[in-house]
Amino acid sequence: MPSYESSLTLTRVYLPVRAKFALALAGASAWMAFSTWIAARWIAELSALVGPPIALFVIGGIAIVPGFMNAFLVLSLLLDRRPPRRPLAAYPPLTILIAAYNEAGSIGDTLTSIDRQRYPGALQVIVIDDGSRDGTAQLVRAAQARYPWLSLLALEKNGGKARALNAGLERAEHELVLTIDADSYLYRDALVAIVERYRHDPPHTRAVAGKILVRNSRQNWLTRAQEWDYFHGIAAIKRMQSLYQGTLVAQGAFSLYDRAALVAVGGWPECVGEDIVLTWALLKAGWRVGHCEDAYLFTNAPTRVKQFVRQRQRWARGMMEAFIQHPTILLTPRLSTFFIYWNLLFPWLDLAFTFAFLPGVVLALYGHYWIAGPMTLVLLPVALAMSLLMFSIERRMFDQVGLKVRRNVRGFLLYVFGYSFLLQPASVLGYLDEVLKTRKTWGTK
């Protein structure tokens, strides 16, 4: 697979990973220093109203720190030069685990997509029906006549995704284990791609996250916006983290694992964010988690605001659970630890946006530009430029696998300029869920 960076002069010379990290860090730090200088008057004016600590908390959280993160991300993507995948002489046997709860409407398509992969190695697929009440198990039993590689594990009571996956892991026959969601569809050659990436990644790799895209993106305005979030927001972050030897979330929706490593860390933990907590356990054990940018799976994104908020609450709460269960990971001397510290900043950014920037927008409508004003307007072109850059990178990846980017201008504008108004308050609710120890539930349905 040719690298999209081949057209960039600065990537024609090989740079070690640590040199790329240093360059990205230096460039992002310079940008943060420049933006702090530019924002000095803004900080002074807000300090006169609320005091310097609150002013720094607000402006740092809505402008300066996000600017640093975005600059680091963009520079890292420009420096990334992924080694090409190569066909294997023989493809290892593969076990696929599918945890399903009330997925009668989608499980058939999911199984069809697996069959169409024509994976060249031995295949075992286990659907773990987690106490469904809609006939999911019956549909799987009927499908077993068509698919000799398919088996069903029916659990009597709904116990959550982690319990279901662990039950399936006990029956896994092969050393490579892949998890996919029951409402998803594997794109062409996805299994071959993710297995090849795993085998060609550094030898201490024990998991590889695939790329997830939105299947129902034309359903309404919310799914249109999420299409862009998955297309280059989430994907770009995973690719950057993989460059520095440690993707922080091998998502349960589509990831490949080494079975022995899963067993060594105790499998999936019983919590809301089982995939992120598991990934951090692998990282803490000293293993690497990668990302396969050209192994695609399409999934159904939440179609209602309530569903979306519940999903992002779970994701935010999962991050909190990971910190609580693996606090010593912050002491691990490796490049990926930088992004663990990075995640520590998210509650600050989400709180500043929710409780300062959102009220600031309301104040600006009445002529008070203390928080949202000319300085924040300057950030909009920067956000647009960064999104267009990531779009150009991802579009090249699409071209290489035969996919086309559909026109979705309204969704793009909503994603760039309005998505955070829903996303970041939802994350705050997730943090509160963990602090208040509210009831934990599986899924967004």
CATH class of 94-338: alpha beta
- 3-class secondary-structure state, position 96: strand
- Flag the least confident range among 64-78, 116-130, 308-322: 64-78
Report pLDDT digits (tens) over 322-372. Answer: 999 999 999 988 888 999 999 999 999 999 999 999 998 888 888 888 787
Strands 288-299 and 184-186 come out as antiparallel
- Give me the DSSP letters along 350-404: HHHIIIIIHHHHHHHHTT--SSSSHHHHHHHHHHHHHHHHHHHHHHHHHHHHT--
Q: Over 50: is that where the pLDDT of 300 sits?
A: yes
Whole-number pLDDT of residue 119: 97
* Percent of the chain predicted with pLDDT > 70: 92
pLDDT of the residue at 309: 95
Report whether pLDDT(444) > 50: no
pLDDT of residue 11: 43
- The answer to whether the beta carbons of residues 84 and 1 sit under 8 Å apart is yes
Contact predicate 217/411, CB 8 Å: yes
Residue 380 in this model has a pLDDT that exceeds 80: no
Mean pLDDT to the nearest integer, 19-47: 92
Domain residue limits, the chain: 4-82+345-436, 94-338
Say what the pLDDT of residue 368 is.
Answer: 81
Is the model more confident about 410 or about 176? 176
Confidence of residue 379 (pLDDT cuts 50, 70, 90): low
pLDDT at 375 (0 to 100) = 63
pLDDT digits (tens, 9 = 90+) for 172-198: 999 999 999 999 999 999 999 999 999
Q: What is the pTM of this model?
A: 0.89
Tell me what pLDDT residue 445 has: 43
Cα-Cα-Cα-Cα dihedral of 141, 145, 147, 148, to 10°?
100
